[in-house]
Amino acid sequence: MAFASIIAFGYRYSNVLNMASLKEQNKCHDVTHRVISLFFRQYDLPGQIPSAIGDLTYLKYLTFRKLHNLTGPIPESLTKLKYLDFLRLDWLNLTGPIPSFLGQLKNLTYLNLSFNKLTGGIPDSLSTIPGLKSIYLDRNQLTGKIPASLANLKLNGLYLILSHNNLSGELPPAFAGVDFEKLDLSRNKLQGDASLVFGKNKSTYYIDISRNQFEFNLSKVEFNESLTTLDMNHNKIYGSIPKAMTGLELQSLNVSYNRLCGEIPVGGRLQSFDYSVYFHNRCLCGAPLDSCK
Ligand SMILES: *[C@@H]1O[C@H](CO)[C@@H](O)[C@H](O)[C@H]1NC(C)=O
Ligand SMILES: *[C@@H]1O[C@H](CO)[C@@H](O)[C@H](O)[C@H]1NC(C)=O
Ligand SMILES: *[C@@H]1O[C@H](CO)[C@@H](O)[C@H](O)[C@H]1NC(C)=O
Ligand SMILES: *[C@@H]1O[C@H](CO)[C@@H](O)[C@H](O)[C@H]1NC(C)=O
Ligand SMILES: *[C@@H]1O[C@H](CO)[C@@H](O)[C@H](O)[C@H]1NC(C)=O
Ligand SMILES: *[C@@H]1O[C@H](CO)[C@@H](O)[C@H](O)[C@H]1NC(C)=O
Ligand SMILES: *[C@@H]1O[C@H](CO)[C@@H](O)[C@H](O)[C@H]1NC(C)=O
Ligand SMILES: *[C@@H]1O[C@H](CO)[C@@H](O)[C@H](O)[C@H]1NC(C)=O
Ligand SMILES: *[C@@H]1O[C@H](CO)[C@@H](O)[C@H](O)[C@H]1NC(C)=O
């Protein structure tokens, strides 16, 4: 099947979603006139996402963003969009759960539901989408545990962004085997051992686990040199800063407000950060903090 054009692009200049007209175009046998992309942004589009969207059979890219008057649930008719690759419904006022039926969108590679008012848990069904690589569910009101099934998304370079929710419990042990590219779990109520997200053989460049209740021994953590951003502030992390961290090309680091002790190893980029990156720990010392006695 060839998809030759993105004819609905112009609809971004409209504040009326003319489904009747779109459906007419969709019937067209000429592939060059099929609607494959819809993009709505920053217009007054009130009500709910119209369920008639599901009739745009060939849709590949669907974006509704920054439409504060768009509310209600994610419509089940989306499951009819078998070719959907990219689904971005962010900065809306969507409510209700992240529906389990999204797992039927087998061609999805990108899912962004950030900045909504979605509640409930993360459905297991997401892990049945074979090519899903980018998952942005941050800034909602999600609760419950992170499902272990997400570890089945073992593609190299998974983006998993779950920050600013109310997720709780421990991380699934199976995350030890996932090579995230970017992982942001910050500002949840997660607890237990987060050391399993690190590892010598992972190519992760970005890890933010700040503002949770994680508790593990940092001394035992092994790092891969690909890591450039590491934020762990406000947890219950203990032990000391491993010497191996001097070997990282860190652009950003924050281990403040934990229970770390001992001397900050000298070398690499560790002294290029200011004291606020290290302060409020149990007995961490050495530059840029006060010298160890
Ligand atoms: C939302 O609707 C209200 C009331 O109809 C309107 O005043 C406002 O401009 C709309 N907001 C946006 C972002 O379109
Ligand atoms: C949508 O969200 C905005 C910003 O969060 C808020 O001001 C507005 O009242 C909300 N509208 C509805 C209909 O919930
Ligand atoms: C969608 O997914 C199906 C099944 O995984 C696959 O056979 C098909 O080629 C995909 N279609 C597109 C347009 O990517
Ligand atoms: C997903 O949406 C959020 C909120 O608008 C945005 O900050 C983020 O960059 C988006 N992610 C991607 C990969 O586009
Ligand atoms: C998390 O839950 C608390 C109550 O337990 C609530 O006050 C808070 O608004 C919730 N935060 C989010 C982001 O849902
Ligand atoms: C890293 O190595 C461990 C043990 O050798 C293995 O179990 C794990 O699957 C590997 N992880 C990745 C992301 O390759
Ligand atoms: C870092 O990770 C990459 C990608 O997984 C791997 O090729 C490399 O060998 C790792 N480095 C070390 C020191 O294990
Ligand atoms: C943390 O691990 C290191 C290295 O294995 C060990 O020496 C130390 O006693 C541990 N710290 C705590 C508080 O368990
Ligand atoms: C590190 O995190 C703490 C706590 O959130 C914050 O006060 C401090 O400014 C941060 N430091 C940097 C350099 O971002």
Whole-number pLDDT of residue 11: 42
Q: How confident is the model at residue 58 (pLDDT cuts 50, 70, 90)?
A: confident
For residue 207 the two structure tokens come to 């890890």
CA distances from 133 to 28, 124, 179, 191, 212 (A): 32, 15, 11, 25, 25
- DSSP code string of 92-112: SEE-SB--GGGGG-TT--EEE
Nearest atom in ligand 7 to the alpha carbon of residue 224 is 1
pLDDT band at 13; cut points 50, 70, 90: very low
- Show Cβ contacts of residue 155 under 8 Å, excluding neighbours closer than 6 positions: 131, 132, 133
Residue of the nearest CA to atom 7 in ligand 2?
68
- Residue 16 clears pLDDT 90, i.e. is over it: no
pLDDT of residue 14: 45
For the chain, list the domains and their CATH numbers.
Answer: 7-217 (3.80.10.10)
Task: Work out the pLDDT band at 33, boundaries 50, 70, 90.
Answer: low
Positive or negative, the CA dihedral 2, 25, 109, 128 is negative
Q: Which two tokens stand for residue 258?
A: 């934990």
- Ligand 4 touching residue 114 (CB < 6 A): yes
Task: Supply the pTM of this predicted model.
Answer: 0.90
Bridge partners for 261 per DSSP: 283
Query: Angle CA(132)–CA(133)–CA(138) in degrees, nearest 5?
Result: 100
pLDDT at 196 over 80: yes
How many angstroms separate the CA atoms of 169 and 161, rounded?
Answer: 17
What is residue 77's DSSP assignment? G
Residue 151's pLDDT is 92
More confident residue, 43 or 189: 189
pLDDT in tens, 205-245: 999 999 999 999 999 999 999 999 999 999 999 999 999 99
Contact 136, 113 (CB under 8 A): yes
At residue 94 the predicted structure's pLDDT band, cuts being 50, 70 and 90, is very high
Residues 162-178 pLDDT 10s = 999 999 999 999 999 99
pLDDT of residue 231: 98
Q: Which of 114, 122, 139, 141 to mutate for ligand 5's pocket (most ligand atoms within 8 Å of CB)?
A: 141
CA of 112 from ligand 7 middle (Å) equals 29
What six digits make up the tokens of 102?
Answer: 């999204």
* pLDDT score of 88: 95
Ligand 7 binding pocket includes 271 (Cβ within 6 Å): no
DSSP line for 8-55? GGGGGG-SS--HHHHHHHHH-SSGGG---EEEEESS---B---GGGGG
- Determine contact, residues 147/121, Cβ cutoff 8 Å: yes
| pLDDT score, position 278 | 98
